[in-house]
Amino acid sequence: MKAGAIYERPDGRDTKKMVATSKNYCLTERCRGLVHKKKEHSPFCAKCRTRRFAKKFPLKYSFNNLRKRAKERGHGFDLSFGEYESFALRSGYATGKGKTPDSLSIDRIANDGPYKVGNIRVLTLSFNSMKAAKKSFVPFFANQIENQAYQPTAEEIEAIQKQLAEHEN
Ligand SMILES: [Zn+2]
């Protein structure tokens, strides 16, 4: 939005129409964030812009975050957005991601390998953190679509259930 342009808040909070200046309030209802001059192409503050992007393109948002975290932690990243999107949709990650222990997270099968097709699978967050804590491989039940070669044996399943029971106590 250019300086001098007139805009209206959607909530009708203002009796006067707003004129864009170098410091505008964000257009989101109840948000008092500021819109800086450099970002005037959008009438929303930085936080609201991120939020709106995440809502509109949830997979793009999570893809960018995954790539960013991989870079921060020094992990390789060899996934295109298309590959990521298809993995997320087929594995159930797209709908199952979140922050609760039962939410799904993306795990690298070979720990020293990059994020790439064939080296990623979904685990529940509790499994993933258990794996990190024990620094050893913990089998899992989560969706196996990307990793169908792995089929836990009856003994492994029993061991998992035992570990889960211990984990819950
Ligand atoms: Zn805002």
pLDDT digits (tens, 9 = 90+) for 5-22: 776 666 666 556 665 555
Query: What residues have a C-beta under 5 A from ligand 1, the ion?
Result: 26, 28, 31, 33, 45, 48
Question: Residue 78's pLDDT band (boundaries 50, 70, 90)?
Answer: very high
Arithmetic mean of pLDDT over the chain: 76
In a domain, 1, yes or no: no
Same domain, yes or no: 90 and 154? yes
Contact in structure between 116 and 78 (CB atoms under 8 Å) = yes
pLDDT of residue 135 exceeding 70 = no
> Whole domain around residue 46: which residue ranges?
6-53
Task: Tell how far the Cα of 30 is from the centroid of ligand 1, in angstroms.
Answer: 8
Same domain, yes or no: 12 and 86? no
Same domain, yes or no: 75 and 46? no
pTM of the model: 0.62
In a domain, 40, yes or no: yes
d(C-alpha 43, C-alpha 24), whole Å = 8
107-119 CB burial, b ≥16 within 10 A, e <16: bbeeeeeebeeeb
In a domain, 42, yes or no: yes
pLDDT attached to residue 10: 63
pLDDT attached to residue 149: 47
In a domain, 106, yes or no: yes
Same domain, yes or no: 87 and 136? yes
Same domain, yes or no: 81 and 156? yes
Same domain, yes or no: 46 and 69? no
Same domain, yes or no: 102 and 71? yes
- Residue 2, CA distances (Å) to 13, 23, 28, 52, 108 in order: 22, 12, 18, 20, 45
d(C-alpha 155, C-alpha 148), whole Å = 18
Task: Tell how far the Cα of 28 is from the centroid of ligand 1, in angstroms.
Answer: 5
Task: Tell how far the Cα of 116 is from the centroid of ligand 1, in angstroms.
Answer: 35
Average pLDDT over residues 20-49: 77
Same domain, yes or no: 46 and 68? no
pLDDT of residue 139 exceeding 50 = no
Same domain, yes or no: 47 and 78? no
In a domain, 80, yes or no: yes
Task: Tell how far the Cα of 148 is from the centroid of ligand 1, in angstroms.
Answer: 44
In a domain, 103, yes or no: yes
Q: Count how many domains the chain has.
A: 2
pLDDT attached to residue 43: 82
Same domain, yes or no: 35 and 63? no
Same domain, yes or no: 42 and 84? no
Same domain, yes or no: 147 and 64? yes
Task: Tell how far the Cα of 42 is from the centroid of ligand 1, in angstroms.
Answer: 11
In a domain, 132, yes or no: yes
